[in-house]
Amino acid sequence: MTAFPAEPFDGVQEITVEAAPLAVVRHSGLRLSSLSDVFDPAYAALGRAIADASFSPAGPALAVYHGDPMGVFDLEIGFPVTAPISEVLSVDGVEIAPSALPAGPALAASHIGAYDGLGPAWGRLYGDVAQRQRRGTGDWIEIYVTDPRSAAPAEPRTDLVLRTV
């Protein structure tokens, strides 16, 4: 099963994430309280780069958290791309860099509903890791399948992927 299925995940599913090239805006040393300050500028710059044909998205918007999301973590906000970007792009002072989706085994689930329900959805997914006697790698991926500008607030679909060992 891929990290980008057409249909929502049915409960928690074991998948293998395949490496995929990404175009991302990176932030280091964040806390949850900082998230409201980073997403809009990042997606505005990414949108301008797409409009300028600097790269072509190959899937929905995503965010890759590296580290402990309840503590300090690094964050990559971006898109999978049809071809890797070869250099850092600067769009209105925001740097867009090449990256790759962290590959390997994972547990995945879909959250249907408002973004304020993502915390409890992650909690349920993380609880399943312990039940399956697995360990997280520190790579947490949110895939924003539904464009929030085109869906009613209760309808967005966000796929959650937790890399495991």
CB 84 within 8 A of CB 38: no
The CB density around residue 99, as the number of other CB atoms within 10 Å, is 20
Q: Which tokens in the block code for residue 70?
A: 């309840």
Domain that holds residue 46: 13-164
Residue 130 falls inside a structural domain:
yes
User: Per-residue pLDDT tens for 132-141?
Assistant: 888 889 999 9
* 4 pLDDT higher than 80: yes
* 149 pLDDT higher than 80: no
Residue 85 falls inside a structural domain:
yes
Residue 91 falls inside a structural domain:
yes
Residue 5 falls inside a structural domain:
no
* 1 pLDDT higher than 60: no
Q: Tell me the C-alpha distance between 111 and 144, whole Å.
A: 10
Residue 3 falls inside a structural domain:
no
CATH number, domain of 90, equals 3.20.80.10
Residue 7 falls inside a structural domain:
no
Quote the number of domains for the chain.
Answer: 1
Residue 44 falls inside a structural domain:
yes
User: Per-residue pLDDT tens for 75-117?
Assistant: 999 999 999 999 999 999 999 999 999 999 999 999 998 888 8
How many Cα neighbours within 13 Å face the side chain of 152? Answer: 2
What was the pLDDT predicted at 134? Answer: 86
Residue 140 falls inside a structural domain:
yes
